[in-house]
Structure 1
């Protein structure tokens, strides 16, 4: 691959990483709002709106894993941790600064919307850390096992496992530290995990399409990865 192609591939990697971080930070900012979703009157999902952008992070790490390799996927995950902690620090500082009388948003409203519980943030970060690294590890296990074939298998197997770990970890910690009541544990666990499974299945064709575009654009063989300049 010539220098121009590698430069283009690196730019795309940065864009994917930026989208990953944006989705992750947004998920942490909006998680306190909950809603119901009942598709075709089959099951009544009780979900945090933070779950809406979160599956995008797993799709992006699967794309990066497939095209750029395990190391680059792990680097994006680590960058996401620092970005999340940094954004939480900014919010805590903004919450500490008192509002003036003419401020459109007063202290009480700001705190109610953005006053993040340290326990909730810790639970989210731990769940995120475990789930993303498990996702990447399982993905590459199946990629090696299938010699780069059966993309649907590694995409779904890695996501199912990691999303269950993520959902179980965050809800358990939130209940242990009394951020959420235990009577919501089962409902939120089932709703969250099923929703993530549905999204994982739905994003498989998207992953196939994007991987096809990458392979066509950069002349990659099945299972071949782009080696970016370190």
Structure 2
């Protein structure tokens, strides 16, 4: 029984499950904005960045061990599940409330009632960014002949996170008619992208840990320092 839990198949399924949960949580929690102080500097961010932080190092770990095809399959699965979650959530929001409901429309709607524009922006940004991450990771691996895992992880993450931020912000907020032109969107992008790039660097040891754990005792292809 315990041997099954220690198999590479189980470990892969476990990481895929955490990846999918992180994708969902990053969208559910994304509405809360938090502020912390780092070295006296106020940092304002969406708490959805916490699970978002996990998706890239998990995807890179899967890509490193199983290849680009498995990583792409994981992204497709994430997109379909994210779309399903949004669909069920929208249905839940628009269903009528019973008199005995312990939550009111004013409480439930603002938390779970995303606009169709926001939903489309979230799905498009996730899909394009993670597909780009998987592609770039594989290309850099080929260029470095399987070495320098830290390099391909950070390069692919930088590109993926840049695509994610630009696609989501422009699809969700670009509206010249209301004064939200390109300049306004760029102002939104800069702090979020800067924080994501810092998190990408912090991600590096987690990628190494994820690859090592995923491979377990099978380190035949472990020359990736």
The two structures have a TM-score, normalised by structure 1, of 0.87
Distance 1:216 1:14, change over 3 A: closer
Q: Is the 8 A contact 2:34 2:46 kept in 1?
A: yes
RMSD between aligned residues:
2.4
Query: 2:109 matched to which residue of 1?
Result: 111
Q: 76, 79, 93: which is aligned to 1:78?
A: 76
Query: 2:140 matched to which residue of 1?
Result: 142
Q: Is the 8 A contact 1:131 1:166 kept in 2?
A: yes
Matches within 5 A, 1:205-216: 205-216=205-216
SS in 1 for 2:35: strand
Distance 1:187 1:45, change over 3 A: farther
Q: 49, 52, 56: which is aligned to 2:50?
A: 52
Query: 1:192 matched to which residue of 2?
Result: 192
Q: Is the 8 A contact 1:131 1:162 kept in 2?
A: yes
Which consecutive residues of structure 2, in runs of 5 or more, have no partner in the other structure? none
Matches within 5 A, 1:13-32: 13-32=12-31
- Deviation, 1:6, is 11
1:50 and 1:7 map into 2 onto residues whose CA distance is 31
- Deviation, 1:184, is 4.9
- Deviation, 1:219, is 3.0
Moved over 4 A (4+): 4-7, 177-184
- Equivalent pairs counted in the alignment come to 220
- Deviation, 1:214, is 3.8
The two structures have a TM-score, normalised by structure 2, of 0.89
Query: 1:221 matched to which residue of 2?
Result: 221
2:14 and 2:152 map into 1 onto residues whose CA distance is 23
1:141 and 1:180 map into 2 onto residues whose CA distance is 40
Q: Is the 8 A contact 1:148 1:222 kept in 2?
A: no
Distance 1:214 1:18, change over 3 A: closer
| CA displacement 1:11-46 (0-9 Å, x = unmatched) | 11111111111110111112222223442134x433
With 24-33 and 114-123 compared, the bigger mean Cα shift is at 24-33
SS in 1 for 2:24: helix
SS in 2 for 1:218: coil
Query: 1:95 matched to which residue of 2?
Result: 93
